Amino acid sequence: MASFEKVNYTLRPAKSIERKMLCECFRRLTPFSEIESYRYVGFGSTYFSDFSLIHRSLGISNLISIEREEESSERFEFNLPFRSIDLQMGQSTDLLPELDWSPRTILWLDYDCKINADVLADVATFCRSCTSGSVLVVTVNSQPDSESDQCRLKSLTRRVGESKIPTDIDPSRLGGWGTAECSYRIIGAEIESTISHRNGVLPKDNKLDYRQLFNFHYRDSARMLTTGGVVYKQCELSETNACRFEQLDFVRNAGDAYEILVPNLTFKEMRHIEAQLPRGEGGIEIPLDEQDIVAYERVYRYFPIFVEAEL
C-alpha cells in the first residue's frame, strides 16, 4: 500500500512544522533571485501539502510533482490543487535525470522509505546537474531496523551498498537516532563526492560548494531525518552569505541535529503561552513542565492547528 493511502499527510504535526520551517528558509534565497522565479520539484502525493504551502506562501508557480504510483494517476490529477503543477508519473530515478536543470530549483526528495541506492541516485542526479542557488532537501525514514546491531548494519549495507557505509560506523550505535545520524552522513558524503567530481573541470570561480542548512530529526510515528542545503558557485559566496540562513535557529550546518519536538498541549495552554511570547524577562506562568513550554516556544510560529471542521 502506498503511504498516501495510509497516512493523511496534513495531520502530522512535526512534518507540518518542518514544512513551514523549510519554507521560511527558502524565502531567504532572494539574494540569488526572486523566490517566485524558483522552480519547486517534489513528491506531492494526493495531498500536495508542500505544493500548497510553497505556492501560497512563496508564490512559486513552476511546480513539478513526481508520482510513482502510475495506477492511480487519475486520482493524483484530480487532486492537483493548482493548474501550474506539472504532474509527472514514474520513478524519480528515471524522471529527475530528464528534467532541464537550468532553472534554480528547490528539490524536496521527501521519501517515506529508508535510505537506499535510489535515494542516493536522486541526490547525485541533483548534485550533478543543479544550477547555483538551488536547494536540495532529503527526507528519509530513519527508524532503526528492529534487529540486532550487526543485522542493522547489514541491512543498511544491503540498501546503499558497502562502499557508501562510513568506515567508522559502530553497529551498536544504530539504535535511537543512530540510524538517522548514519543516513545523514551517507547523504552528505554523496553530495560531497558528486560535487567534487563535477568541480574537476570547472574554472575556479565556477566551482561549486555545498552549504548544509538542514539536519532535522522528528517523529510523528517513525523517526525521520531531513537534511539538505544549498549548492552555489564559489563566486556567489557573498549572495549565499547574504541569505543569512544562520539567523534561523533551526538551520544546521553540521552534524548536530535540530529535533522538532511537538509538545502535547491543549488549545488553552497554547494560547496562554503564546500571549507571553516572544518571551520577556520573567518566566511563563502556567502549570506545565518547563521543557514543554520551551518546546512549544521553539515551534509556536510553525505549529499547525487541527480542528474538526466540515468544509
Partner 1 sequence: MIEPFADRLDSSEDGSRETMVANAEPTKEFFIEMLVKDIQLIRAIIDLVDNCVDGARRMRPSGNFDGLTIGLSTKNEEFSVQDNCGGIPLGTARSYAFRFGRPSDAENLDHSVGQFGVGMKRALFKLGSKFHIESGTSLDHFKIDCDVALWKSKPDWTFDFAIASNEPGENIGTKILVSDLHKSVKDDFGLENFQSELARSIRDAHIDSLEAGLSIMFNGNQLTFEPLTLMSSEILKPALFETLIEEEEGAQPISVRIYAGLGESDPQRAGWNAFCNGRLVLGSDQTEATGWGEGNGKTIPKFHNQYATFRGYVFFDCNDASRLPWNTTKTGVDLDSSTFKAIRAEMIKLMRPVINFLNHLDKEKENPDDQRPLHDAVGGMKCVTIKETSTSGKFEYPQPKPRKKTPRSGRIQYNKPIERINIAKKILDIKTHREVGSLTFDYYFDRECT
Contact set with partner 1 (CB under 8 A): 70-74, 89, 93-94, 97-98, 116-118, 120-121, 124-125, 128-129, 160-161, 194, 197-203
Q: Which is nearer to partner 1, 71 or 308 (CB)?
A: 71
Cβ atoms 180, 142 nearer than 8 A: yes
Question: What is the smallest separation between the CB atom of 118 and partner 1, expressed in angstroms?
Answer: 5
Between 73 and 84, name the residue whose CB sits nearer to partner 1. Answer: 73
Nearer of residues 209 and 259 to partner 1, judged by Cβ: 209
- State the residue for C-alpha cell 525514514: 141
User: Minimum distance from CB of 219 to partner 1 (Å)?
Assistant: 27
Nearer to partner 1, 34 or 70 (CB): 70
Shortest gap between Cβ of 206 and partner 1 (angstroms)? 10
Which residue, 200 or 280, has its beta carbon nearer to partner 1?
200
Query: Residues 222, 46, 10, 126: is their CA dihedral positive or negative?
Result: positive
| Residue 295, SS3 per DSSP | helix
* Distance of closest approach, residue 120 Cβ to partner 1, in angstroms: 6
Residues 66 and 95 sit within 8 Å (Cβ to Cβ): yes
Exposure string for 154-187, b = 16+ CB within 10 A, e = fewer: eebeebbeeebbeeebebebbeebbbbbbbbbbb
Residue 163 C-beta: closest distance to partner 1, Å: 9
Q: Quote the least distance from Cβ 38 to partner 1, whole Å.
A: 22
Report how far Cα 296 is from the mean position of its chain's Cα atoms. 21
Task: Give the separation between CA 122 and CA 117, rounded to whole angstroms.
Answer: 9
CA distances from 109 to 93, 225, 303 (A): 11, 12, 23
Could you tell me which of 148, 149, 186 has the C-alpha nearest to residue 167?
186
Of 200 and 282, nearer to partner 1 (C-beta) is 200
The answer to whether 191 and 123 are in contact (CB under 8 A) is yes
